Amino acid sequence: MKLVILDRDGVINKDSTNFIKNPNEWISIPGSLEAIALLNQSGFRVAIATNQSGISRGLFDMATLNSIHDKMHRELALVGGRIDAVFYCPHSADDHCDCRKPKIGMIKEIGKRFSVELNQVFAVGDAFRDLQAFADAGCRPILVRTGKGEETLKTGSLPKNTLIFADLNEAVQHIISENTYLENT
């Protein structure tokens, strides 16, 4: 099975320092939904791994998070795309859970759920904590320059072998071309 893991805020949709607290604040990054649809059409399953500490902070509840994701699913369906699973961590950093990125609990759970070896999985994020979790779990990390990506790039301390692309669309083009090359060799 071919799988790609995506962070949500800053990769698929525009990020906000004040959190995405309702469906109206969830606005896709141009080209991101079409990129996911292209992954689907190329035989990839897509999972999201997202920290959502706004829940534990009381900024929104589970029903609101579900409404935000419903909007994402509807907009994706309009361009022929789908997300196969959404994994989220509702905890704050103070909760010291194992699922909040940069820890690897959520990423390992995705690997188990889809029965895949994570070293074969590209994982796309815009923040250092995404990339660290992906790399520590054994995934192939990709940084996109959308969202917090430019800030992350300026730190200069990316995990080893991190690929860098302008946005999700460019990253997906690489993922598909590499997969096509491997299938034909």
167 included as an active-site residue? no
Which of these is catalytic: 9, 15, 130, 167?
9
Q: Do 3 and 36 meet the contact criterion of CB atoms below 8 Å apart?
A: no
Which of these is catalytic: 7, 15, 126, 167?
7
Q: Do 98 and 105 meet the contact criterion of CB atoms below 8 Å apart?
A: yes
Amino acid at 49: A
7 included as an active-site residue? yes
Q: Of 35, 33, 18, which Cα lies nearest the Cα of 71? A: 33
The alpha carbon dihedral of 93, 96, 99, 101 has a sign of positive
- Catalytic residue list: 7, 9
